[in-house]
Every structure is written in structure tokens, then in C-alpha cells.
Amino acid sequence: MLAVSPDGTTLVITDPIRQFVYLYNTKGSIQTQYGGVATHAVFSPDNTTVYITLGDYNASTGVTTPNNTLLVHSTFTGWYQTTSSQSTSDVAIGVPSVGAFFGGNPTTARSYCPVTTIVGGAPTTSSTTTNLFYPDAGVLGPQTDRIATTNDGLHVLGATVTPTPTLTDLAISHPAVGTVAAGPRLPINACPGQTPVTAPQTFTTTTAFTGALPGVTASAITGVFPTSDSKIAFVTYQGSGAVVPAYTPRPLAPALSAASPCRPRSEPLSRRSSAWSARTTRPSTQAPRETTPSISSPSKATAPTRTRQPHSHRSCRM
């Protein structure tokens, strides 16, 4: 299972053996299906649209490798398949849900406003009308393996292991279109009102932050998880390091000093200042208690003791 609709009535399930993507209802019956092997999926908040990334399944290894095929299912238009210029590794719904962002190299986006082409003059019985659904929204961001959007609509957060474990924060905005002024977040107005609509709606992203995940040795990024209040996001991964990176999104690009915000420093916790924080629970002879979060870089993990104590763990904030 890849995704559940917000109202809890529809599941996205893929069968790599039969090479199908299914939309199941909660009664266990198939609503609809489409050929392919899905890797990730996300619903719009109103349950009407689901964006799906596909991959190529290797039966001998059981591994599905992302490809450049995208699927969208809409309650109004049914299934729609399109392709991107590169493999897409993840998908996150826009906030508001006027499109979606896709992980890959580069990170891209698609708008839900179609582009219409009319051949033969004005719409008549002798003209031909072609609709391009979910056109490219003009985003070319840094490489990401997994991505997520924050609920405040201001950020696309992504992480990759290539060439080193790195997190990127893309600040979202929209350009001026007609009477709509440029501003933060995605556009909330109706689709462009040209007749026909010949230019796709575009989104604008700028890199607010990019930096290495400190203390992390990762073979794969497994997720980026912003909190519901958009104040912090956690990055999960396969690998080693005993560190759970936690990032505080910023509306503006942070000023990076000579001392990198991801570089361990030696002064006491109370004097540290960086984009990372450490949450540490250390073994002790007293009852286990988690320390208060503080702004810092990760420190060395406490050596395990032979007494039965809770495992020590660390979290650092970017």
C-alpha cells in the first residue's frame, strides 16, 4: 500500500508481479486499475486527485527502480499518464493543492491547470482541440530522493544521498500573472483565464538552505517528515550514525558563517548556535529522562554500559 485518501475510503496499491496499480475502496473491491509498478503516491486534500510515480521492477532482485513515468488519477478525468525528462523518485502534494512536486535530479513540479491548443482557428466543428493535462510547472531544483511540503505552503524539503547525505529547503512562491501579484506560496486563484490557455501555470522555488546531514552515513533516504505546524522536519535514512536529523525551515536563506551550521563545535550546549539541535537521552543510574532540546550540533554518542539502561540516541537540527 502506497497511500490512503484523506477521507480514508481509497487505497493506492501496486502489484509488481502483475504490473498493475490499483485504487481500492475500503470494502476491498477495485475501483479502477492501470498498468505499471508504482513507487510513491499522494492524494489531494479533497480526495479527488492522486499523483503516482512509477518504476521498473526487477523480478530477479525484487527491486523497483524509479523511472520517468507519472500517473495521475482524477475523479473528473480518470487516468492520465505523462513522462518527465528524468526519473522521479518521490511525490509531494502542493499546498494549496494546485499541483505536485516530484523528487529526482532535478526536483520538478506539475500544475493542475491544463494547457489547451486549438488548431484550425476559433473552436468550431472544423478545429481540433488538444489538452495537455498536468503540464510542467517550470521548477528545476537541486537533486532530491525523498521530498515533502510543509503545511504552511512555504517550503519543499528534500534530501538525497548523492553525492553525500544532503538536505535542501526550497522556498515556494508564485510569479505575477495578470492582476494577481507575485507572492509566497503557490497561487490560490483560478487557472489562467486565456482562451485557449496556451502557457502553463508556473511555480517559483528558490534555495533557502542546503547542507550536509551531520553525523549521518546513509545508503538511502527513507523519508522527510515535517511536523503539522511546519516548525521542524525530520529526515529518516538507512545507514549508520545514531543521529536523527531535524531541520527548522526558514522563510529566507540563512546566512552561513565560516563555521558551518552542520559542523560539530566544542563549546557548552548553552553557548552553541547553529541550525541543528541535539536531543540526547544518556544512560544513567537514575530513572530515564529525556533532556530539554537545545540548539547545537551532534556530539559523540555515549558509550554503552553493561547495566540495563535505555539506549542513547541523538537528534540534530539543521
State pLDDT tens for residues 179-193: 667 888 898 877 876
Q: How far apart are CA 9 and CA 25, in angstroms?
A: 6
Cα three-residue angle 58-61-63, rounded to 5 degrees: 60
Residue 101: per-residue pLDDT: 98
Q: How far apart are CA 179 and CA 146, in angstroms?
A: 35
Report the b/e string of 34-46 with b at 16+ CB within 10 A.
Answer: bebbbbbbbbbee
Q: How far apart are CA 38 and CA 42, in angstroms?
A: 11
For the chain, residues with pLDDT lower than 70 are 121-125, 177-180, 193-196, 251-318
Residue 123: per-residue pLDDT: 60
- Taking only Cα atoms into account, the Rg of the chain, rounded to an integer number of angstroms, comes to 22
- C-beta separation of 146 from 90 below 8 A: yes
- 10 Å CB burial of residue 72 (0-12, 13-18, 19+) is buried
Residue 122: per-residue pLDDT: 63
Residue 194: per-residue pLDDT: 62
Residue 102: per-residue pLDDT: 98
φ/ψ bin of 158: left (φ > 0), alpha (ψ from -120 to 50), beta (otherwise): beta
Residue 315: per-residue pLDDT: 46
